[in-house]
Amino acid sequence: MKKTLKYLLGIFVIVITLYRCSDTTYTMGDLTAPTDLAITTEIVGATTANPNGDGSGNVKITISANNALAYKVDYDANNAVDLVYLSSGTVTKKYATLGLNTYRITAVAYGKGGTTSTITKDVTVQSNFNVAPEIVTNLTGGTSKTWAVDASLPGQIGVGPWEGSAVPEWWAAAVNEKVACCNCFYTSTFKFSKDAATGAYSLQVTNPDGAFTKTGSLTTLPGIPASGDEGCYSYNGGTSSFSFVPSSTGIAATTPSTQTSILLAGNDTYIGYGAVQKEYEILVLTETYMYLRVQGTETGNAWYLKLKAL
C-alpha cells in the first residue's frame, strides 16, 4: 500500500511540475534599434587654408551609437555598397582617387536581435600622388602584364611582424611548399592593365583552381565559406580598379622599398593571397620580379609575396 501511495504521489508531483512549466511566459526583451548613430570624420592635415587635407587622402572615421553591438561601414556608397565589419568604431581610411573628390560614407549599427540603424555622411578629400613612371611600366608593361606567385623562389610567401621589421622573420615558405596542399596559390594569375585613353588602372584576377585564402572574416572574397582551414576555395575571380598611393605600412625610408603601394578597390580582387587588407606595398619591382608586403589576416602580422611576370 505504501509503495502504491508513493507511486501515485510521484505521478502527482510530475503532473504539477509540467502544469507549472506550461504556464511559463518567455519574452525576447527589448529589441530597440541602436540610437544616436553618428559618423565623425577627421581629414588628416586639414587646415583653414587646406580644409580637404594634406593630399595624403587619409581620413580618420569614428562611428558611435547607443546600444550598438557591432558596426559595418561602406567607405563610398557612390559606388556599389560593400559593407566591411569594424572590430572597433574607429578606422583610418586612405582615399586614393587623385584630385579633389567627395565620398559618401555609410555606417550600419547592429543591436539586439539583429536590429539596425543606418546613417550616411559625405566627406571631401584631396589626394595627391605622382607614381614613378618606371613602376607603371614594370607592372603593366605600358598596357597590360600578367603576374603569378613564383613557386621556384624560397620565401614566395612569408610572415613577419607588422611593426619594427621589414622581413618575414617568423616564417618563409620553401620552394614549391604549397604545391601539395594548395596549388591554386601558384596557378592563379593577376593581370595589371593601364587604359591608354583614360590612364585608369585595373586588375583582373583569374582562378582556374580556386583562390588561396582563409575563411569567414579573414577574407573579403565573396562566396568563401564562413569557416574552414586555409586552402584553395572555389572562386571565379574578379576585376577591379586600383590606384598607386604612398605606402602607409610604416616601413622606414631607409628600408628597401619603393615607398609606393598598390591599393585595390572593392572586395573582389587580391594579389597572391586572399586576405582582408587591400594595400600592397611594393618593396621591389623589376620587369620580371615583384616583391610585396601586405598587412596579414591576423592582427600584428605582415605577409610577404614574391611574384614573377608571365
Q: How many helices (H) and strands (E) does the chain have?
A: 4, 19
Q: Could you tell me which residue, 32 or 101, shows the higher pLDDT?
A: 101
Distance CA 288, CA 20 (A): 77
Contact at 8 Å (CB) between 37 and 107?
yes
For the cut 60, the answer to whether the pLDDT of residue 189 exceeds it is yes
What digits encode the pLDDT tens for the residues 111-153? 988 899 999 999 999 988 888 999 999 999 999 999 999 999 9
CATH fold of 35-127, please?
Immunoglobulin-like (2.60.40)
Q: Could you tell me which residue, 91 or 186, shows the higher pLDDT?
A: 186
For the cut 80, the answer to whether the pLDDT of residue 193 exceeds it is yes
**pLDDT of amino acid 4:** 47
For the cut 70, the answer to whether the pLDDT of residue 17 exceeds it is no
For residues 81, 86, 90 and 96, what is the CA-based torsion angle, rounded to 10 degrees?
A: -40
**Residue of 88, 92, 116, 115 lying closest to 105 (CA atoms):** 92
- Parse the chain into domains and list their residue ranges: 35-127, 133-309
Report the 10 Å Cβ neighbour count for 6: 10
Contact at 8 Å (CB) between 269 and 276?
no
For the cut 90, the answer to whether the pLDDT of residue 253 exceeds it is no
Percent of the chain topping pLDDT 70: 88
Candidate from 27-36, 52-61, 290-299 with smallest mean pLDDT? 27-36
**pLDDT of amino acid 306:** 98
**pLDDT of amino acid 304:** 96
For the cut 90, the answer to whether the pLDDT of residue 270 exceeds it is yes
Q: How confident is the model at residue 252 (pLDDT cuts 50, 70, 90)?
A: low
Q: What is the mean pLDDT of the chain?
A: 87
- What is the value of pTM for the model shown? 0.65
**pLDDT of amino acid 211:** 96
What digits encode the pLDDT tens for the residues 83-99? 888 878 898 888 877 78
For the cut 90, the answer to whether the pLDDT of residue 254 exceeds it is no
**pLDDT of amino acid 5:** 45
**pLDDT of amino acid 207:** 97
**pLDDT of amino acid 25:** 56
Of the spans 3-7, 12-16, 131-135, which averages the highest pLDDT? 131-135
DSSP string, 267-304: SS--BSBB-S--EEEEEEE-SSEEEEEEE-SSTTEEEE
Q: Could you tell me which residue, 92 or 78, shows the higher pLDDT?
A: 92
Distance CA 299, CA 212 (A): 19
Arithmetic mean of pLDDT, 182-188: 97
